[in-house]
Structures are given as structure tokens and as C-alpha cells.
Amino acid sequence: MNDRLSNIRINQTGYSDALPVHLAVLSEGLLTLSKDGGLPCFPVEIVAPEADESSGDKVTIVNFGVLPEGEYSAQCGEEYARHITVKKNPWKDVTNALIKGLYYQRCGCELKPEHAGRFVHPACHTAPASEWENKSVKKLVTGGWHDAGDYGKYVGPGAVTVAHLLYTYILCPKGCSDELNIPESGNGVPDILNEARFELEWILKMQREDGAFYHKLTKDHFAPFIMPQEDHDPEYLMPVSHCATAAACACLALAYRVYRKFDTEFADIMLNAALRASKWLDENPDFIPFVNPEGVRTGMYGDRSDKDEKFWAACELFAATDSKEYLKKAEDLYSGELRITSYGWAEVSGLGAMCCLFVLREKAGDILYKGLKERFIDECNNIRTLSENSGYGTALSPKGYGWGSILPIMSNAMSMIMYEMLTGDTSMRENALMQWNYALGLNALDMCFVTGFGERSVMNPHHRPSGSDGIDDPVPGLISGGPNKGFQYPQTKEKLGDSVPPAKSYLDELPSADTNEVAIYWNSPAIFVGAFFNSIS
């Protein structure tokens, strides 16, 4: 780990020889670049940099355009030179690692040395769980991914993560290489789908007999920092919820289409589960927000509305069954209120929009294809403006740095990538690329947010296995939530001070869940973005 902040910020995992090379420079004066130990060339005079509101930094983005393959050294003023690699396909490893990061979150099975290297552990959370509301009902609900730095498993966030993987496979198949070295590798199914199936099998187990889905499978409190196999306190099936049911319904209907060509039996089970969930939603139309029952303190994943989840579900059910009743439902649920460029656990309208724009297309009709497409394009233009207004090119407003700011940043990259896919206009590509660069080091913190990558990388994520396995390095391939001005933890505020700018409100410290936790649904949008750039580099 290099402790010195450089005056040049780069994508620490390298650059592609097929895409423009951007650096961010924090000094004035002459910036030079030398190739393969040669004399400095490409001189750029940096004058009067502008202040970036999110970070308070005076920063200039320098675009060197497409550079030939090689090892470069960038220097501005007296500060040390920064090493940059330009090569073909530079992001295959980090994209694969982000997918493999989900493998390391697997619950209920042993992580073996042949797949997990140093980061092994025996099977965890293998005991049957009781329903919270009726403790005499016990079920074996093993499997799935640990949600984040904690060991909870939550249906809605899990469904969203799977959807990101499946849409990555649908839209950027060339970007996902099949070399993950997970237990299923080599079985004829792409590894990204093998990994997603691990979660899908668990989601299926979270359905109650009447079709509803339990909101989550957690203990009543968060575990201390112990390894998962040492976490023996009882887990509970927490009450069912509308949002979990609708999100699972959507995800399973989507998965039905994707897995059909590999395993019809598994696909049919998923469609059947989705239809039963949909029926439960019809029979229980009044939204009841999930709140943690008295005495439960694990992640709540509360939501103000289930309209977005139901909209997404209706779109996916129409795609899966071709039955017009679902198109009608989706049209009825659709309104300007739905944020069609949001793909995170709280607002999933964007996933419904992806189904309309890339799967249903003309079949979605005037409202959900033509109209929605226009609105989507407008939104993408706003996102591009956000990126243009930022000193680092980051598509987030200064106010947007909340818990898990990496999510809106990666989501905005997804939107700009989809803009290109939808219109053939490549003019947002560099704006999207700046978000990928952000995640990998081109940011106000000079920090690569993916564990195991970069010369200045996250070392102390709020992640129980990383904090308790006795290995100095964190589990690799996990992306940190990143800067958060929300200061949900008083100690974060105390350490950073009130006046720290939003984009610097970050601590690479284990206790700082509010700035440095990892989560499956932060990895997954980064996987989409990585796979896209992988496919064109």
C-alpha cells in the first residue's frame, strides 16, 4: 500500500489501448508523460484548475486520448511520478474478481482452498431457522450470499444483485469471461450464471407456502467480528413483505428466461414460484412497509412503496409469459414517479425499464417503449450533466454522497452505457468510463475501492470475514460503499470533522460501516460496468 497521496489520480488497474486515457491532476504547471522509460512527451500545461464542489479540490481532468500499449510515467511538478499501464483488455481481472467476490460471500457451504485460496472457511449458518412470528415453524433455508459485511441474507437486495448479473449476461455477454474458478466452473453454463444460481436457489427457499416471500433471514442482532462458521446464534425467517415478494417475483421471472436454455426444469420451478408470488400480491394489494419486529436490529431495508417492485415484476412476467394482463399491469403501475434510472435495492424501476427497453422493446408499446425510451434518454442527459459538472467527472451531485455512494455512481454509469446501447450514440461513453475510473482510483481520495486491486486500495473494509480471518489482506474483489456525508456513526463524524467535503467523507477503517462496508448489490452494478468496458477494450 502506497501511503502517499499523489497529485495525479489515475485508474490504478490500468487503461485500455482502445479507449481514451484520463488522469486527474491537482497541481498547476507542466504535466508530462513518458513511455517505456523514454523522454517525457505529451506535455500539457495545467493552468487555473477549477474547484470541485464535492471534494473541495482544485482539479483538472486531462484526456490523453487513445494511447498505444506501454508502461507510462506521469509527472506534474516536483511530486513523484505516477506509473500507468496501457494495455489490451486491462479490466478482465478486476471484473472477474468482482464476480468472484460474490463467491466469497457464499453461505452454508465450505469455501475450499482450490477455489478460495487463502480465504477458506468451513460451511456456516447450516442450522434450520425458525419463523420469527411462530418459532415452532422451522425450515432449512441454507445457501445464498451473505449480504455485506454482516451475515444477514435479505431477499430484496439479493434479487436485485442477481438481476444485475443476469442483465450483464444479457447485454454484455462478451464482457464476462468464464474463468472464475468456482465449484461449478466448466459445467457448460457461463460462470456468471453459475454464481447467480447460488443465490437463486436460496431465494426459492425463502418463499412461504402461500406464495409470499420472507423479507430476510437474519439473527435478531448483528454478529460481532467473528468468522461465519463461529456465528451460531439462531437465525429467523423474518415476516414476509410486499417488496421482497415483488422483487423475488421479478427476479425469478427474469431468471426463468435466462436459464431456460440451460436447465428447463430449474427454469420452470422459478417461473412457477414467480407466478405464485404474483398471485399473493394480487390477493394482498395493500402495501404494508416492512419494519423490524420489536427486538430485531439487523438491516431493515425498509421502503416507502412497492410500486417500483411491482412494476418491475409485471414487466418481467410479461416478458416471461407473453400474457397481456402483465403488460396492462405494468402500464397501470408506470408513472413519472418511478425513477427509471435507479437500479438499487430501494428503487428498482430501472430494472423494469431495462426489461422494457432491451427485452420487450416494441412489444412494450407506446407508453412503455416509445415514451419510456424518451424519458430514459432525457434522464441520461441529466446524468451526463452531473458528470460534466464534477471536477473528477463523477456523476454524483455533492448532496448525493450518502451511505453506499458507489451505488448511484455505478448506476449512473449503467444508464450512460445503456444510452449508447439504445441509441448507438457513443457520446456518453467517456462519461461512463469516468465512473469506472472513479471506482478504481481516479477520485478525491486517491483510492481504489475494490479490495485486492490498485496501489492504494481498501485494506480495512467493514466485512466480518476480512476482519476476523487473521489474514492482513482483505477478501479480494469486494467494492467499498465509499464516501458518505450522512455520518450515521458518530465516531465517523468525530474522526473526519464536520467540514470534510462529501467526496472525502471516508475512512478506510474496519468499524466504519457507514463509509467502508461492502455489499453484494454494490459489487453487482460494478460488474455490469466492468463487463461493458471489458467487452470494448
Residues that bind ligand 9MR (CB under 6 A): 148-150, 222, 299, 511, 513, 517
Q: How far is the CB of 129 from ligand G3I (least distance, A)?
A: 17
Render 334-399 in DSSP notation, one character per residue.
--TTS-TT--SSS--HHHHHHIIIIIIGGGGHIIIIIIHHHHHHHHHHHHHHHHHTSTT--SS-GG
Among 46, 346, 356, 442, binds ligand G3I (CB under 6 A): 346
Q: Per residue in 269-279, is it b (16+ CB within 10 Å) or e — as a string? A: bbbebbbbbbe
**Which residues contribute to the site for Zn ion (CB under 5 A)?**
107, 124-125, 228
Per CB under 6 A, 163 contacts ligand G3I? no
Neighbours of 210 (CB within 10 A): 12
Pick the closer one to ligand G3I by CB: 145 or 318: 145
β-pair type (129-131, 236-237): parallel
Report the partner that residue 402 touches, choosing among ligand G3I, Zn ion, ligand 9MR, none (CB closer than 5 to 8 A by kind): ligand G3I
Neighbours of 366 (CB within 10 A): 10
Report the partner that residue 107 touches, choosing among Zn ion, ligand G3I, ligand 9MR, none (CB closer than 5 to 8 A by kind): Zn ion
Point out the residue whose Cβ comes nearest to ligand G3I. 299
Sheet with strand 153-154: strands edge to edge: 138-139, 129-131, 236-237, 216-218, 153-154
191-205 and 242-259 are packed helices; what angle lies between their axes, rounded to 10 degrees?
140
Report the partner that residue 228 touches, choosing among ligand 9MR, Zn ion, ligand G3I, none (CB closer than 5 to 8 A by kind): Zn ion
Per CB under 6 A, 402 contacts ligand G3I? yes
Pick the closer one to ligand 9MR by CB: 427 or 491: 491
Q: How far is the CB of 483 from ligand 9MR (least distance, A)?
A: 16
Pick the closer one to ligand G3I by CB: 57 or 150: 150
Report the partner that residue 404 touches, choosing among ligand G3I, Zn ion, ligand 9MR, none (CB closer than 5 to 8 A by kind): ligand G3I
Phi and psi for 379 in degrees, rounded to 5?
-60, -40
Neighbours of 117 (CB within 10 A): 14
Phi-psi region for residue 154, left (φ > 0), alpha (ψ -120 to 50) or beta?
Answer: beta
With CB under 6 A as the rule, give the number of residues binding ligand G3I: 15
Report the partner that residue 346 touches, choosing among ligand 9MR, ligand G3I, Zn ion, none (CB closer than 5 to 8 A by kind): ligand G3I
Pick the closer one to ligand G3I by CB: 148 or 475: 148
Among 17, 147, 430, 508, binds ligand G3I (CB under 6 A): 147
Instruction: Give CA torsion, residues 301, 306, 310, 313, to 10 deg.
Output: 0
Q: Which span (84-92, 105-113, 142-150, 326-334) binds ligand G3I, by CB under 6 A?
A: 142-150
Q: Which span (191-199, 281-289, 397-405, 433-441) binds ligand G3I, by CB under 6 A?
A: 397-405
CB 467 within 8 A of CB 473: no
β-pair type (216-218, 40-46): unpaired
Among 57, 150, 231, 446, binds ligand G3I (CB under 6 A): 150
Residue 87 corresponds to which amino acid? K
Per CB under 6 A, 414 contacts ligand G3I? no
Please list every residue from 474 through 503 that binds ligand G3I, using CB under 6 A: 486, 488
Point out the residue whose Cβ comes nearest to ligand 9MR. 150
Render 425-451 in DSSP notation, one character per residue.
-GGGHHHHHHHHHHHTT-STT--B-BT
Cα–Cα distance measured from residue 401 to residue 408, given in angstroms and rounded to the nearest whole number: 9
Q: How far is the CB of 231 from ligand 9MR (least distance, A)?
A: 12
Pick the closer one to ligand G3I by CB: 57 or 517: 517
Cα–Cα distance measured from residue 172 to residue 528, given in angstroms and rounded to the nearest whole number: 8
Report the partner that residue 124 touches, choosing among ligand 9MR, Zn ion, ligand G3I, none (CB closer than 5 to 8 A by kind): Zn ion
Q: What are the C-alpha distances in Å from 22 to residues 91, 130, 191?
A: 15, 53, 32
Pick the closer one to ligand G3I by CB: 145 or 169: 145
Q: How far is the CB of 108 from Zn ion (least distance, A)?
A: 6
Neighbours of 37 (CB within 10 A): 9
Q: Per residue in 378-392, is it b (16+ CB within 10 Å) or e — as a string? A: ebbeebbebbeebbb
CB 523 within 8 A of CB 161: yes
Residues lying near ligand G3I in the complex (CB under 6 A) are found at 147-150, 152, 299, 346, 402-404, 486, 488, 513, 517, 519
